[in-house]
């Protein structure tokens, strides 16, 4: 039924699009003598979402679009996206959707404006700086704030906020894609990849799995070719084992604490946190991590910034209300950077330029919505079964890991991947960037795993040049550079 309704909606909207196309044709002719005159006209039919007056934006030669896409008309749910055409030859380059995690954190606040987008929010919270290593050098980059409640995305039905979870998010993101293609029809059949980090380690395979299933109906086809995952939450049991072993092997906790965990914690059990000894020992790990930046072990915490007040930094990251409850830790939280983005995205002129408000009734943007995080209703304990399905479907799957992250450490990812038992196709070796070792790579049948040497949780923040080079390899389906 839902599927039928969606198809119907797609057909209806196609009708509207043809009408819109007619109107746009004229707009195009008018702008022919402007700076876009050399562009092929087929590219974008939707000019309403074109961003033209973004405060503090550096001059660039590519176009970018931002605005809402309705994903559920009945309840009034709309998701906010920001789309940057590729720097050059956008008609020939693939389309990549980027997702951040949390759950509850914004792909615009993290991915687009701190990690891999072309405009990085300056530390004064006013201007934007051009990012020379932006991933839209190589692909058309689509950033989405999902689910509703995150960033600018919203629902007009408050009860929606009580039902948020993995499946809800995958469903809405799937609906988003189809409706977005109506706005951007030239991308409808484009080679498509999904990338993300942290809690998006769940979102990305879940969405890919959903696309794979729905693609069995040719009228719903999305040309998905692969997924790219950075420091991804993957399997709760393996993630926890990796977190505690990494804390011990990186001298964050004592031998005694680690021994107690080894002896008393059964992370594969559905009642791990019913064991007091285990819970107390894991609490000790988290207590030690509160002293430093769990997302980047060897960088300084930002004491000078007023944003890093004890209460905020410590209580925000860890959620645990009962002693036998699984401690939950937000994926990817950087108190040093948080406030810059918040300052910028709550400016009236910025919200107007991005088509989220009229500049008078403002939306209240924050980088992570803790109500979404706290209220998360449903999560998949492991997405490894989905990996298996996607590997069988011959999708390209690359997983990378910044090796100084304590939150979803490289050990967690290695434990998870080893449960897949994939045959090794190429021996473990370093990969290079600018004559230095970027990290190590292990190629398996159906999956490529690589580390980023000296990078924290949000890898591109720490290693922008390496990240862009690695992303380029991923898009080409070629092993990362094997020579200096
Ligand atoms: C939500 O409600 C507002 C105010 O009525 C309306 O303008 C907006 O279009 C609605 N959003 C959706 C997605 O239906
Ligand atoms: C997601 O969509 C499927 C198929 O339409 C539906 O059966 C399921 O109930 C939805 N789940 C949520 C949480 O919305
Ligand atoms: C754990 O799973 C077992 C069987 O698989 C079930 O009997 C038990 O009630 C579960 N315990 C909890 C705390 O969910
Ligand atoms: C915006 O949201 C924050 C919580 O994220 C809240 O503390 C603040 O009061 C809100 N501001 C407005 C103007 O609604």
Rounded to the nearest whole angstrom, what is the distance from the C-alpha of residue 52 to the centroid of ligand 4?
Answer: 28
Q: Locate the domains of the chain by residue range.
A: 1-236+337-484, 237-336
Angle at 236 between CA 446 and CA 374, to 5 degrees: 125
Told to judge if 48 belongs to the known catalytic residues of this protein, a careful annotator would answer no
Given a cut of 70, is residue 333 above it in pLDDT?
no
Query: pTM of the entire structure?
Result: 0.87
Helix (H) or strand (E) holding 79: strand 77-84
Q: Give per-residue pLDDT as tens, 89-143.
A: 999 999 999 999 989 999 999 999 989 999 998 776 668 999 999 999 999 999 9
pLDDT tens across 413-429, in order?
999 999 999 999 999 99
Nearest ligand 2 atom, CA 165: 13
Give me the CATH code for the 1-236+337-484 domain, please: 3.40.50.1820
- Mean pLDDT (whole number) for 170-182: 97
> What token pair was written down for 253?
């906790």
pLDDT of residue 212: 98
| C-beta separation of 108 from 151 below 8 A | yes
pLDDT-derived band of residue 233, with 50, 70 and 90 as boundaries?
very high
Is the minimum distance from the CB of 476 to ligand 2 under 6 angstroms?
no
Q: In this structure, which residue's CA is closest to atom 5 in ligand 1?
A: 156
pLDDT digits (tens, 9 = 90+) for 17-67: 333 332 332 222 223 233 333 334 444 556 899 999 999 999 999 999 999
- How many Å separate Cα 396 from the centre of its chain? 17
- Going by alpha carbons, the residue nearest to atom 7 of ligand 2 is 2
Whether residue 255 has its Cβ less than 6 Å from ligand 3 = no
- Catalytic residue chosen out of the listed positions 160, 172, 239, 405: 405
d(CA 173, ligand 2 centre) in Å = 12
Q: Is residue 6 over pLDDT 50?
A: no
Q: Which residue has the higher pLDDT, 6 or 341?
A: 341
Q: Give the number of residues written for the chain.
A: 484
């Amino acid at each position: 039924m839902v599927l039928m309704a969606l198809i119907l909606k797609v057909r209806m909207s196609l009708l509207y699009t043809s009408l819109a196309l007619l109107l746009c044709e004229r707009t195009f002719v008018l702008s022919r003598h402007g700076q876009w005159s050399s562009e092929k006209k087929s590219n974008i039919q939707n000019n309403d979402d074109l961003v033209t007056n973004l405060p503090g934006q550096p001059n660039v030669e590519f176009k970018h679009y931002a605005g809402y896409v309705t994903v559920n008309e009945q309840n009034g749910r709309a998701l906010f996206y920001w789309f940057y055409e590729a720097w050059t030859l956008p008609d020939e380059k693939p389309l990549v959707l980027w997702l951040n995690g949390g759950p509850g954190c914004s792909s615009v606040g993290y991915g687009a404006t701190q990690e891999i987008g072309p405009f990085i929010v300056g530390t004064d919270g006013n201007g934007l700086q051009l990012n020379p290593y932006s991933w839209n050098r190589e692909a058309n980059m689509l950033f989405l704030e999902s689910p509703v409640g995150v960033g600018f995305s919203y629902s007009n039905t408050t009860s929606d906020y009580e039902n948020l979870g993995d499946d809800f998010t995958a469903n809405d993101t799937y609906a988003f894609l189809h409706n977005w293609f109506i706005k951007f029809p030239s991308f409808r059949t484009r080679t498509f990849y999904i990338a993300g980090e942290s809690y998006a380690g769940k979102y990305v395979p879940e969405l890919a799995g959903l696309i794979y299933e729905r693609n069995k109906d040719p009228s719903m086809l999305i040309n998905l070719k692969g997924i790219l995952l950075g420091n991804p939450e993957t399997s709760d049991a393996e993630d926890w084992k990796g977190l505690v072993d990494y804390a011990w092997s990186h001298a964050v906790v004592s031998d005694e604490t680690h021994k107690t965990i080894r002896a008393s914690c059964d992370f594969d059990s559905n009642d791990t946190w019913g064991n007091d000894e285990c819970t107390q020992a894991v609490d000790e790990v988290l207590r030690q991590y509160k002293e430093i930046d769990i997302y980047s072990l060897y960088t300084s915490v930002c004491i000078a910034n007023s944003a890093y007040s004890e209460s905020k930094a410590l209580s925000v990251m860890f959620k645990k209300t009962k002693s036998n409850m699984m401690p939950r830790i937000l994926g990817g939280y950087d108190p040093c950077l948080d406030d810059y983005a918040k300052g910028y995205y709550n400016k009236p002129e910025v919200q107007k330029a991005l088509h989220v408000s009229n500049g008078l009734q403002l939306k209240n943007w924050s980088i992570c919505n803790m109500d979404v995080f706290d209220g998360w209703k449903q999560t998949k304990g492991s997405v490894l079964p989905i990996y298996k399905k996607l590997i069988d479907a011959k999708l390209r799957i690359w997983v990378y890991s910044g090796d100084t992250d304590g939150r979803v450490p490289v050990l967690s990812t290695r434990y998870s991947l080893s449960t897949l038992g994939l045959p090794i196709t190429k021996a473990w070796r370093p990969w290079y960037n600018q004559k230095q070792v970027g990290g190590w790579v292990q190629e398996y049948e159906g999956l490529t795993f690589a580390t980023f040497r000296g990078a924290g949780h949000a890898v591109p923040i720490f290693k922008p040049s390496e990240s862009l080079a690695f992303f380029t390899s991923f898009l080409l389906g070629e092993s990362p550079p094997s020579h200096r």
